[in-house]
Structure 1
């Protein structure tokens, strides 16, 4: 009788401890979610201080960079995620989770990395916004195409409300940042630098704290770790190579690479929770954690390598030294690729026209002088 009482007491204590841990975990997740939301709003606002409406509109009117980015985001990434899923021989749940990750639009963290590698900030913000809007139609299309042969019982639901929330959380801070840049241009540069440093530091601290506090929940499944690392690597390198192949300038190539390799993790978690049961979700809960860690580490590595390269070699304008074969035109305040333009529209043609005009004006002046003498 005493044994039964003691075992019941132990069981009750164990259940109580588990419930307390669960409540603490839920409370911590709520605090982290609110903190990350505020930090991302700060980041987007500070980076919006480097943007102008005219330059955003110019990117839309000349959508070569946006088109290449969309091809990488909704062409390359879903295809690579599908190949990776069927190659690793994972379960159906893991396959679905990997594919959903590849079909997600770009995340706002790419704007931060683009700022630190001297990329095209206007293109980065435009791509992030356009990919979020395109996700309303491209995510269901990609998921339908690649899961058609898997014969899933139910389709994968798309959280349109979450996509809309992500879009608003991106557009509103950017609009505020653009207004600050227009009204107080000198102060906007300070805000951009301080906000980017502060935001990046807080994100790194939260990521490290997550791993340390919840390391006993980590499912070190080799397929999950491999898919997270490989898909992140493919996103960065594949986006960069496709940008170079399509004759994008070096700043734009770096921007497209970063946009391709970073996914909207908040939207990804929302789709997973809607698509999977609690038991299925517990099997792949570490996938977004690992992918988020890998995309953050890879982005920081790219940033560190670029900053060291720029500091050691003193080549702040590396585009001129490394792109002698690519025609670029400095319009709208940034280097734009004119590989799609006709040769007679290039800067060399403009200089020749200027010289011809000066020569013609000089000849007319000489003829007028001679007539006056005669």
Structure 2
């Protein structure tokens, strides 16, 4: 199919780097509030005991973090080069790859009969590290793609500005949620039932509504980004599954690792795209569509796995890694 060749992809995307999505300041602020609310909900469902895997299985956590912030973005970089995507599309893909997991990965792991304790531990660690790692990783990996690096140089992106934004979007609400969960566990348990699903629904409505308001843009550029998004999503899920197998986890653990590395916090990616790449609508476009595709593929995989009872691990890895 000629449409899917790298050369034609680059040709069709000739204007996407100049694409500007006209989203109101109110919509952008609302998205930030919802993402912060979403992270607050993640923390409400997090207890200090949930980090026990960091101590009990440090090797697994360490490998998961390396796979998330090194292997997945590195392979995404190679994918952007292989497909010859334009700079804004590459930045959008790498931005998603450098974002941490959200609590959607925990929900999908539970639905898939995976190791929820491992999933929560990995989500907590990745979100704590994201405050510093996400901006640095984005700058590093984007700098290795010539088209993306040229755009970043033109807009003079400061990693420290991104650190401040991520700290506000992740650090403050996550710390507040942990405090509430510690001081008022009963209230946190009741509130968590409504905060997380409500924030997810509102975020999806904003993304869908924003895309609907830009329907002409959506139809014009969908063919440009559909292959990169689908390919990266499949790649991310594959890295997660492969990491679980390398760590010799049980099938339940492998399912958890698959969702932790394959399901990104695309709400955070959209907010960062709106905040720092306002004139590069292709970045926002990729992040928003990634989020929708992420939910669909994640739910499909979790539903398929739910019908299959996980088999116990045949052999435990050394050093307590399983």
Give the TM-score normalised by the residue count of structure 1: 0.65
1:221 deviation in Å?
5.3
1:74 deviation in Å?
2.6
Matches within 5 A, 1:196-235: 196-218=196-218, 219-220=220-221, 222-235=223-236
Match of 1:162 in 2: 162
CA-to-aligned-CA distance 1:313-352 (integer Å, 9 cap, x gap):
7x6xx4xxx124143xxxxxxxxxxx23279xx9xxxxxx
1:103 deviation in Å?
5.2
Decide whether aligned partners of structure 1 residues 40 and 65 sit closer, same or farther in structure 2, where only a CA change above 3 A counts.
Answer: farther
Decide whether aligned partners of structure 1 residues 134 and 151 sit closer, same or farther in structure 2, where only a CA change above 3 A counts.
Answer: closer
- RMSD between superposed Cα atoms in Å: 3.5
Distance in 2, matches of 1:86 and 1:234, equals 14
Distance in 2, matches of 1:221 and 1:177, equals 37
Match of 2:76 in 1: 81
SS in 1 for 2:318: coil
Q: Which has the larger radius of gyration?
A: 1
Decide whether aligned partners of structure 1 residues 135 and 80 sit closer, same or farther in structure 2, where only a CA change above 3 A counts.
Answer: same
1:160 deviation in Å?
2.0
Decide whether aligned partners of structure 1 residues 98 and 300 sit closer, same or farther in structure 2, where only a CA change above 3 A counts.
Answer: same
Decide whether aligned partners of structure 1 residues 179 and 292 sit closer, same or farther in structure 2, where only a CA change above 3 A counts.
Answer: same
Q: Do 2:108 and 2:259's aligned partners in 1 also have CA atoms closer than 8 Å? A: no
After TM superposition, where is structure 1 displaced by more than 6 Å over at least 4 residues in a row? 148-151
Give structure 1 stretches of 5+ with no counterpart: 1-21, 328-338, 347-374
The number of residue pairs the alignment matches comes to 289
Matches within 5 A, 1:1-374: 25-27=22-24, 30-56=25-51, 59=54, 62-91=57-86, 93-94=87-88, 96-97=90-91, 100-101=94-95, 104-107=98-101, 110-118=102-110, 119=116, 120-144=119-143, 146-147=144-145, 152=150, 155=153, 157-218=157-218, 219-220=220-221, 222-261=223-262, 262=264, 263=266, 264-265=268-269, 266-270=271-275, 272-273=277-278, 278=279, 281-282=280-281, 286-305=285-304, 309=307, 318=310, 322-327=311-316, 339-341=317-319
Give the TM-score normalised by the residue count of structure 2: 0.74
Distance in 1, matches of 2:198 and 2:282, equals 34
Q: Do 2:93 and 2:286's aligned partners in 1 also have CA atoms closer than 8 Å? A: no
Q: Which has the higher contact order (CA 8 A, sep 6+)?
A: 2
Decide whether aligned partners of structure 1 residues 221 and 342 sit closer, same or farther in structure 2, where only a CA change above 3 A counts.
Answer: closer
